[in-house]
Structure 1
Amino acid sequence: MSSSYGKWVRISIFGQSHSEAIGVTIDGLPAGIRIDMAELQRFMNRRAPGQSRYSTPRKEADRPEFISGLVEDITCGTPLTALIRNTNTKSKDYDNIRDIPRPGHADLTAHIKYRGFEDVRGGGHFSGRLTAPLCVAGGIFKQILQRKGIEIDARIVEIGGNSEDPYAEIDRAREDLDSVGGIVECRVTGVPAGIGDPMFDGVENTIAQTVFAIPAVKGIEFGAGFSAAGMRGSQNNDPFYMDEDGKIRTRSNNSGGILGGITNGMEIVFRCAFKPTPSIAKPQDSISWSTGKDAVLEIKGRHDPCIVPRALPCVESAAALALINLMNPADLI
């Protein structure tokens, strides 16, 4: 299923941007895991819309409502399901998109794949709104991993090519009725060596698959990434040494903490590129389904001029989902 993922702990995300609710079901969590609901809500608030002038003005509390799987905030062994109500929708803003698809958005491909039966309101299940239930799962997984000494933290590297004053680029884009993308870096500490497998089940493979579940991600690199292509082996290789505790470490981390798809005990480092938000206020060339001719689209509604600031918890959630499924379930308790 396209909206499900996981090997040991499986998640299924459901709903659409303007449906009554969106949500997630998590299957495979061991019984006896306590969830700190206050901490989970703080995590959700980082992604929630309407928090600053840099995000969409759509106001949603994004408070997960757990309807199964918990007894007094402790997992009981059955699938855990959480709902997030959609309370601030304006579906009429998308009436013209039913006929004229947004360039750069999944409107076109959704219409072709689902034969015109797709939900265009707010982008349906292609909307960034569906990262809210991803963050419910990710927030829970982060708590579990933190108790095992594993920390996951994402930060903004740059927005619109600007690393010195990235938020200024959002203001400039908004003034031009446009949008802007950026780069997010994620660092994972505390992961022991020996996690992952070669070939198809490597750590890079697994993280990449979960990160690409976030709409607007267009690229990912680990460690030195693409810059390694311009290095010599003597520059790119990370020299080994024994630390004071008798553990094997590396003096640099161009590998991003992964060799042969397996963790080497160093910090896992990856960066992902986000494209600019497709929904912009400038008129754009498109086509009309009804007339079969070229058309000009003028988008209405509420949209983020840049999704990068709100994407940080989404990237952390994707990393947490990958790590949960790379580790032995018995190690989660």
Structure 2
Amino acid sequence: MKQNNSVTEFILLGLTQDHKKQKMVFAIFFIFYLGTVLGNLLIIVTIKFSQTLGSPMYFFFLFYLSLVDTCFSTSTAPRLIVDALSAKKIISYNECMTQIFALHLFGAMEIFVLVLMAVDHYAAICKPLHYPIIMNRQVCIILIVLAWIGSFIHSIAQIILALRLLFCGSNLIDRYCCDMQPLLKLACIDIYVINLLVVSNSGALCTSSFVILMISYIVILHSLRNHSAEGRKKALSTCTTHIIVVVLFFGPCIFIYTRPPSTFSMDKMVAVFYTIGTPLVNPLIYTLRNAEVKNVMRKLWHVKITSDSKK
């Protein structure tokens, strides 16, 4: 990557400088990351090998949400875990740019998948007779491809802005990963325009998507008055699950990307929840609150255990 400044590496300060606490950070986030990977892989394998979870909600959107959650967490968690036991938490300029690209690629993809899941819910609840036509396999594939393209464009925009920053002083990043906000505070140039572009890019993406999602669920919940009691109960359960995921993801996202690059005491914890906590919580929410997914998991494990015992 083209470098337009004298800085060749950055030093990540991590979550804490206390050696005893660093060991706790290593243990806690190693468990968190392991749980994230195993939980999301369990959902991916369940959907892949299940014959009953073939609807777009599962086969496309929940599948990709779990895949993206795994990648999103992997873009930050392994470095946080390794750095917790490292004397010097050094990240090269190119590695920093790569981490920014991955963080925004998978973060944007998660946003788009959550929006597509809301579209699927709207079609299933408000247009049930036309649902097979509206959300057919070809349409879902096109939507997923467009989501990846949109995520790639968003990430490229972030990298272009990052490469325009000039660093000539401190290289200490008061975070556990590279992102635009902490880099803006280290820049030796006027960052007003770049920060405005970052907010209008990442901030607008988070805020506008959140508003669209909330409006869509207000419309969906309003339409439930015409459904039967059983239909309302099932739809409410599905929508509530999705709304919880949306709030948990977009709350920290909006807090981080819709303000100037100023420092708040809670910034690190909000960033941790956004990049590591949400990918861990998502599989728990979708398995614990989704009876259909839990039933399929039980059946698949029962078949697996039965087949192994007969060998």
Instruction: Give the alignment's TM-score, normalised by structure 2.
Output: 0.30
TM-score (norm 1): 0.28
In terms of fraction of residues, the more strand-rich structure is 1
More helix by share: 2
Higher RCO (CA-CA < 8 Å; seq separation 6+): 2
